[in-house]
Structure 1
Amino acid sequence: MSSQQRPPASTMDFSVSFPAMRGIQAGREFYVIMCPLRYLPRLFHFDEEDVPAELRAQRALNRNRVPALVHYILDNRQDYVFSSLTACVDGAMTFEAQEETGHAHRLGVLHLSMDSHFLINDGQHRRAAIEEAMRADPSLAEETIPIVIFADEGLARSQQMFADLNRHAVRPAKSIGVLYDHRDDDSGIARLIVLQSEFFRSIVEMERSALSKRSRKLFTLSAIYNATQVLLAGSRFETVEEAAAVARRYWEAAAHHFPDWHAVQRGELSAGTARSEFIHSHGIALHALGRVGNTLIRDHPDADQWQDQLAGLAGIDWRRSNESLWEGRALIGGRVSKATNNVVLTTNVLRAALGQELTPDEQRTEDAYTKGRI
C-alpha cells in the first residue's frame, strides 16, 4: 500500500516501523526493509507444519537443516552472510517517503500494523536458524537482515510466489563452491593442488562439476577435492599448505604412470576421447587412487618409498573395452558407476597391482563380487 492509500487511523494505532525502500514488480508495490534479528521470531512466521500442504504457502520446515545453519552463524560470527528473506503481510501497510520526487521518493519508513499476519514465503530455514543462534549469542539480536515485503493477496498468490521463487533457483556446481570457499581447509587443499601444479592446472575444470564431450579438461575440481579428502584422511598436518604439498606430490607421481593424461595435456589426445576409452579418466579412478594413496602415505612417510610403489599402476589395462576386468567393477552395463561398491571394487584392482592387502570391508565386497560371477 502506498503513502497515498492510508488505512483508517484506528488500524494503525499499534504498528511496527522499519527503514525501507519501495519498488515495483509486475505492477505491484513491494518493499525491502532492514529488520533487526530480534524481530524475526516475534513477527515473521512460516506455515504451521500440521497444516496440509495444499493449504500452506511454504514447504514444511526441515529441522535437520537448521543445526548446520546455526553452526555456520556461530562459527563465522564476524563474517557470516545471509541473503534476504521474502514475506507477505496481510494487514495494513503505509509507506512514508522522504521526498515527493526523485530517488528519495523510493526511500522512507514502512509502517506495518501489529494486527497483520507476517508470513515467510522464502527463507524459513534461515529464520529458524537465526532464532536458535540468538539463544546462544544474544548479541545477534541487534544485527539486521533484509526482508522483501509483499502485500498478501491470498493463498493462491502466496503459493505461486513460492513456486516462482524456487522454480529457477540453481544450486552452484560443487567445483566453483570449492574454488571460492576460503573457510574449508579441504577446499583450500584442493585449490592449491591444482593452482600450484603446472600439469593439473591445464587439465582440471575449475568451475563446472560435469564435463561435456567437447570439454578440453580431464577432471573437475570437485573430483580432485573428493579424492584428496580420501587420500589425506587420518593424516595430520600443521598447515593447509603442507597438506597440499604432500597431496600434490602424490597426484603428480601418480600422473606419471598415465601417459594418456599427459597426451591430453599436450593436445595429442582429446579429453573426450580419453574419457570415452579409458577408466582412468573418470572420478571413480581418482577416488580409488586416493584410497590406495592413503595407505601408501600412512605406511611410508618417506615420499621416495611410495613413489616407487606406484609403478604398479602402469601394468593395469585401463581400457573400457577390457570388460572382463571392469564390467561389474567400474562399469555397469558399459557405463561408469560411482556407487560405493564400484569404487571399492576398482580400488581392489589397484591394490592388487601395488601389492597392497585388502581391508576387511574390501575383502567382503570382493568376495561378493567373485561369488556373483561364478
Structure 2
Amino acid sequence: MDFSYNFPAVRGIQAGRPFYTAICPMRLIPKIFLFDEDEVPPEHRAQRLMNKARIPEITNYILENPKDYVFSSLTASVDGEMTFHPISEEHKDIGRLSISLDSRFLINDGQHRRAAIEEALKISPELGNESISVVFFHDLGLKRSQQIFADLNRHAVNTTPSIGILYDHRDHLALLTKEVIAEIPLLERYTDKERVSLSKNSPKLFSLNHIFNTNCRLINKKKGELVTEEEKKFILSFWKVLCDSIPEWKLVLNKEISPRELRTTCIAAHGLFLEAIGIVGNYLYNNHAKSWHTYIRQLSTVDLSRENKKDWMGRAFGQTGRINKTNETIQLTANLLKIKLGLPLTEHEQRVEDRFKKGS
C-alpha cells in the first residue's frame, strides 16, 4: 500500500503543464517543506539565502493579529509522484491531489512565511488547524526550481514605502501620519501618497514616506512601536506650528508659487529638510517640552534658499546643486538649524559637525 499526502485541490494548466492549488493545514507546512539551505544542493537552491532577521517580524504579525492576518499562497516544486483525482466527470479540475510521502518539496516562493509559520506554531499550536493555500508544480529532479523562482520574481514590483504606509491600518505611526495629513490643509493638498521621490514637475510638495520618517525622528520610534497619547498630541501640534512657520510653504498654499518652483529654489521643499526638522523637534520635545513652539516659529527667520550656499552647500546639497539626502547630510542640516535657533549640539552632533568642518 502506498502512503501519500492528500489535499483538496484545483487543477490548472500553464505553459502546457498542469499545476495544482491545494489547501494545506498549517501544521503540515514545517514538516513537508525543505528549509535548511545545507540540505538543499546548490544546483537546486532555487532562492536567495534566507534572511533570518525577517522571521520574527512575520511571526509577530501572525501572533498579534490572530483574527485578521492574511497570507498569500506558497509556491512549491515537488519531486515525486503526484496524482490528481477529479471529484466527477463533470468537474474534472476540482478534486483531490495525492503526493507520495517520499517526495521532495522545495519552496519557490514563501520560505520566510514557512519559517514564520513554524515559529508561530511553537507558541500557538492551535494555529495548526488553520490553512494556507499552496501552488504545487511537478518538477522531477527539481531542475526547473531556479527558473520558477526567477520567473515568479521577474515581474514582481515592490510597493513603495508610501503605499505601504497608506494601506497599513495597524501601525500606530502610519495611522498617526495619515491623521496629521488629513488635519492640516497644506499637507492634505500637497502630499503625494504613492511616490517616494517626487519628480521635478510634480504638483505635490511632500511624500507620505517623508512625513512618516519625520514622525519617526520626532519621537525617536520605529515602525511597529507603540505611540503614547502624549506623543500623538505632540506630533499633531508640532506639524500645525511647523506648517504655520515656513513662509515658503504658505506661498505654495496660497498659490503664489508652485511646488515645482519651490523645489528649485528652496531646501524646505525636500525630504531632507523635513527629516532634519524631525531631529530638531525630538531635541525640543525632550528638552523644551513647554516652549518648543517658540523655537519652531523662529524658523520663519531662517534663510532656506538654495542660493544661500554659505549655509547649505555640503549640508543639504553638493557642488552641483543636487539635494544629497543621507543620514549624515540630514544630521548636518539639522545641526545648522539648531545653531540658528540657539540650541546646543549633542556630543554626537558635534562630532559630525567637526568632521564636516575639517573636511571643508
Amino acid at match of 1:297: Y
Q: Are 2:96 and 1:109 equivalent residues in the alignment?
A: yes
Corresponding residue for residue 82 of structure 1: 71
CA distance in 2, matches of 1:149, 1:47: 20
**Which residue of 253, 256, 268 corresponds with 2:256?**
268
**Which residue of 123, 130, 149 corresponds with 1:162?**
149
CA distance in 2, matches of 1:222, 1:338: 14
User: What runs of 5+ residues in structure 2 fail to find an aligned partner?
Assistant: none
Report the alpha carbon displacement of residue 245 of structure 1 after superposing the two structures with TM. Answer: 4.0
TM-score, normalization by structure 1: 0.88
Report the alpha carbon displacement of residue 264 of structure 1 after superposing the two structures with TM. Answer: 2.1
CA distance in 2, matches of 1:244, 1:288: 19
Corresponding residue for residue 314 of structure 2: 328
Correspondence 1:1-374 to 2 at 5 A = 13-46=2-35, 48-49=37-38, 53-101=42-90, 104-233=91-220, 238-239=228-229, 243-302=231-290, 305-333=291-319, 334-373=321-360
Kept in 1: contact 2:338–2:345 (CA 8 A): yes
Detail structure 1 runs of 4+ shifted over 6 Å in the superposition.
Answer: none
- How large is the Cα RMSD of the aligned pairs? 2.1
User: What runs of 5+ residues in structure 1 fail to find an aligned partner?
Assistant: 1-9
Identical pairs, percent: 46
Corresponding residue for residue 3 of structure 1: none
Report the alpha carbon displacement of residue 127 of structure 1 after superposing the two structures with TM. Answer: 0.7
* Cα 1:259/1:342, change in 2 over 3 Å: same
* Cα 1:306/1:62, change in 2 over 3 Å: closer
Q: Deviations over 1:243-291 (max 9, x none)?
A: 4443122122122232221222333322122112211111111111112
Number of residue-to-residue matches in the alignment = 355
* Cα 1:154/1:51, change in 2 over 3 Å: closer
CA distance in 2, matches of 1:20, 1:55: 26
Kept in 1: contact 2:328–2:352 (CA 8 A): yes
Amino acid at match of 1:316: V
Kept in 2: contact 1:197–1:248 (CA 8 A): no
2:69 alignment partner, SS class: coil
CA distance in 2, matches of 1:244, 1:197: 15
CA distance in 2, matches of 1:156, 1:19: 26
Amino acid at match of 1:294: N
CA distance in 1, matches of 2:256, 2:131: 56
CA distance in 1, matches of 2:141, 2:54: 28
Kept in 2: contact 1:95–1:111 (CA 8 A): yes
Amino acid at match of 1:308: T
* Cα 1:96/1:50, change in 2 over 3 Å: closer
* Larger CA deviation: 211-220 vs 265-274: 265-274
1:112 alignment partner, SS class: strand
Report the alpha carbon displacement of residue 67 of structure 1 after superposing the two structures with TM. Answer: 2.0
CA distance in 1, matches of 2:227, 2:197: 31
Larger Cα Rg: Structure 1 or Structure 2?
1
Kept in 2: contact 1:213–1:272 (CA 8 A): yes
Q: Deviations over 1:197-249 (max 9, x none)?
A: 22210111112222122211111111111111211238x9753xx64443122
2:136 alignment partner, SS class: strand
Q: Deviations over 1:50-90 (max 9, x none)?
A: 75644422222222222222222222222221111001112
TM-score, normalization by structure 2: 0.92
Kept in 2: contact 1:66–1:128 (CA 8 A): yes
* Cα 1:238/1:91, change in 2 over 3 Å: closer
* Cα 1:238/1:367, change in 2 over 3 Å: closer
* Cα 1:36/1:216, change in 2 over 3 Å: same
